[in-house]
């Protein structure tokens, strides 16, 4: 069912999601979103190479999708409750601004430009030192600028590694959840080769619990946790 | 001379956007009086066939030429090239136009992506400006009067579907539980 | 657009006296039409309470501020050239002081915003000067000797922490990323 259709270049996770939904010719709804979850995760895989710094943004949406999907898979496990603004609402809002941006582009390209006058510069009679431009003011202002110039571009590598791993875990837990009803936390850790991965698995599980309200049961302290696929 | 007349004069000589505060300070009259005078000037100037237009960008005001007379104006000044907007730039500008002043987290929630670089980029092009609000911990972003001039729009409210899309408080509410 | 509207626009943006001939050429309409339009503008603008008036000197025409509002105009210009610097102005002056001579694109990379208007204002105030470098296509900006003298500094190197801040790692990095 995963279509191999090539999408236009997408600018971000919401853009990708919108394109996927529109490709299926569906209106934006929770059902439509859960329908395209698999495609979304597929694109997530392709992202790793050149757009890894955007991964975190895509993961936020991916977790919401996985939650939606699991809720459609096992609706009886979810109480009927309003848990705030949904991803569908968010996407609908986003779409409104995308539509508006097309109109803005038309205005921009119309080349109707208003001009101000060019007032000939007026030279003051003598030099006046502004009250707030002493050496101490310059110094303070320069320190603030240097602090602000701290590079903002890429996420630290550690964060990227971390998000990639969380992403894999979300995927593998999601797959396990899809194929089985129950599993033990130990099973999830079976393939962990170091402590970091154990932590990551636990984080991923928490993420799922938080977002999907997947239930985790433990009989006694330190005993294995049973993860109920939700 | 009347406040109206003096206001008209300083908007004319300023040749740049003036804030409400600055106008009140230079003319040394109460703000309410300035507000009324600006309204009067708006009705006086902003008619379809006027050669001079008053642009309002939130609390900034500038006297500019009618965008429909662009060609005539460019005989006397260097033509300003609008330049292309990339898709992320366009998308961000649209949101800031309709929802400004907007904080970075709000913008990011709406667009679903980190916006630090794109905001820096738009500020460099002079299309968006940052505003440090002392009552708010986070700076807010809004479009510049230069951007409005390039769009040929007198006021943000004249943008298509402005009222619907300017649902700023709804956006904040919609996502505060995020 | 009407000739009247286009005439109003060019008189507004030109900021200098325009000859009848020049006007007719730019607007590309017969002289009689220009004559009529100028008459209409005269009645529109030259009323006692107008902030903008039209001045005719033989066959030259210019839009100027009403001389009766001289005080308001001067107040405004005085505030522009004396008085405290705004935060963006101070920051620009700071970068020019610590990193000058510097080109406008370099300055804009560091500040992250368009600096044209600010530079113009700082030059008007005699704080910064432009220097055309024949070996470089772009002019560079540096602080004036007047400014240094008033600061009581003999040399920019005497500014606090000059050596560290002049070539700070964050600054060189910002240039490289550009």
* Interface of chain C toward chain A, CB-CB under 8 angstroms: 12-13, 15-16, 77, 80-85, 90-91, 93-95, 97-98, 110-111, 120, 123-127, 146-147, 150-153, 159-161, 165, 168, 170-171, 173-174, 177
Name the DSSP letter for residue A44.
Answer: H
Pair B122, B54: CB distance under 8 Å: no
Omega cis (within 30) before C152: no
Q: Are B112 and A101 in contact (CB < 8 Å)?
A: no
Q: Are B9 and C52 in contact (CB < 8 Å)?
A: yes
Q: pLDDT 10s per residue in chain A (230 long)? A: 344 455 667 788 899 999 998 888 888 888 888 788 878 877 877 776 666 667 778 887 887 887 777 676 656 656 555 555 688 888 999 999 999 999 999 999 998 999 999 776 666 667 888 888 999 999 999 998 888 887 655 445 555 555 655 666 666 766 766 666 677 777 766 666 544 455 556 556 666 666 664 677 777 766 777 777 66
Q: Report which of A56, A88, A46 is spatially closest to residue A71, judged by C-alpha positions.
A: A88
- Which residue in B3, B4, B5, B115 has the most chain C C-beta atoms within 10 A of its own C-beta, making it the best mutation to test that interface? B5
Residue C116 is encoded by which pair of tokens? 């044209």
Q: Determine the Cα–Cα distance for residues C37 and C41; give it in Å rounded to an integer.
A: 6
Pair A42, A174: CB distance under 8 Å: no
C33 burial via Cβ count (<10 Å: 0-12, 13-18, 19+): middle
The tens digit of pLDDT for each residue in C47-104 reads 999 999 999 998 999 999 999 999 999 888 888 777 788 888 999 999 999 998 999 9
pLDDT of residue A57: 83
Q: In what order do the strands lie in the sheet with B102-103?
A: B102-103, B140-143, B128-131
The tens digit of pLDDT for each residue in A56-72 reads 788 878 878 877 776 76
Tell whether the torsion through CA atoms of A203, A204, A206 and A211 is positive or negative.
Answer: positive
- What's the length of chain A? 230
Instruction: Establish how many alpha carbons lie within 13 A of residue B61's alpha carbon, considering only the half-sphere containing its beta carbon.
Output: 23
User: How many CB contacts within 8 angstroms connect chain B with chain C?
Assistant: 119
What are phi and psi for residue C128, nearest 5 degrees? Answer: -130, 145
Pair B96, B109: CB distance under 8 Å: no
Shortest CA gap C175–chain B (Å):
14
Q: Determine the Cα–Cα distance for residues A24 and A216; give it in Å rounded to an integer.
A: 35
Average pLDDT, chain C: 90
- Which residue in C74, C94, C159, C171 has the most chain A C-beta atoms within 10 A of its own C-beta, making it the best mutation to test that interface? C94
Q: Are B178 and A85 in contact (CB < 8 Å)?
A: yes
pTM for this entry = 0.79
pLDDT band at B83 (very low <50, low <70, confident <90, very high): confident
Q: Which of B9, B66, B72 sits opposite C73 (nearest CB)?
A: B9
pLDDT of residue A1: 39
């Amino acid at each position: 069912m995963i279509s191999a259709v090539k999408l236009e270049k997408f600018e971000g996770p919401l853009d990708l999601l919108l394109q996927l939904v529109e490709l299926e010719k569906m209106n934006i709804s929770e059902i439509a979103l859960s329908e395209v979850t698999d495609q979304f995760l597929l694109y997530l895989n392709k992202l790793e190479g050149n757009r890894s710094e955007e991964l975190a943004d895509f993961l936020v949406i991916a977790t919401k999708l996985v939650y939606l999907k699991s809720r459609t898979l096992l609706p009886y496990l979810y109480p009927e409750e309003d848990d705030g603004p949904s991803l569908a609402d968010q996407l609908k809002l986003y779409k409104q601004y995308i539509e508006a941006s097309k109109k803005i582009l038309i205005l921009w390209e119309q080349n109707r430009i208003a001009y101000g006058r060019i007032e000939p510069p007026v030279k003051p009679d003598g030099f006046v030192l502004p009250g707030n431009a002493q050496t101490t003011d310059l110094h303070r202002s320069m320190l603030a600028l240097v602090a602000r110039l701290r590079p903002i571009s890429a996420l630290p590598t550690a964060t990227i590694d971390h998000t990639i791993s969380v992403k894999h875990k979300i995927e593998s837990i999601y797959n396990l959840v899809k194929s089985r009803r129950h599993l033990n936390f130990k099973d999830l850790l079976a393939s962990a080769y170091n402590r970091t991965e154990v932590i990551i698995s636990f984080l991923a599980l928490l993420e799922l619990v938080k977002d999907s309200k997947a239930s985790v049961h433990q009989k006694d302290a330190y005993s294995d946790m049973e993860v109920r696929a939700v | 001379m009347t406040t109206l007349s003096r206001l008209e004069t300083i908007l004319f000589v300023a040749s740049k956007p003036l804030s409400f505060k600055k106008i009140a300070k230079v003319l040394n009259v109460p703000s309410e009086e300035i507000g009324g005078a600006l309204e009067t000037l708006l009705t006086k100037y902003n008619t379809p066939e006027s050669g001079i237009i008053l642009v309002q960008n939130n609390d900034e005001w500038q006297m500019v030429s009618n965008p429909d007379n662009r060609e005539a104006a460019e005989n006397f000044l260097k033509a300003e090239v609008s330049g292309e907007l990339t898709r992320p730039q366009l998308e961000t500008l649209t949101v800031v136009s309709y929802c400004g002043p907007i904080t970075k987290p709000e913008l990011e929630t709406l667009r679903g992506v980190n916006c630090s670089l794109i905001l820096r980029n738009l500020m460099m092009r002079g299309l968006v400006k940052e505003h440090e609000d002392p009552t708010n911990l986070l700076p807010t972003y809004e479009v510049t009067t230069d951007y409005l001039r390039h769009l040929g729009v007198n006021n943000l409210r004249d943008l298509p579907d402005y009222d619907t899309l300017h649902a700023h408080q709804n956006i904040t509410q919609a996502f505060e539980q995020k």
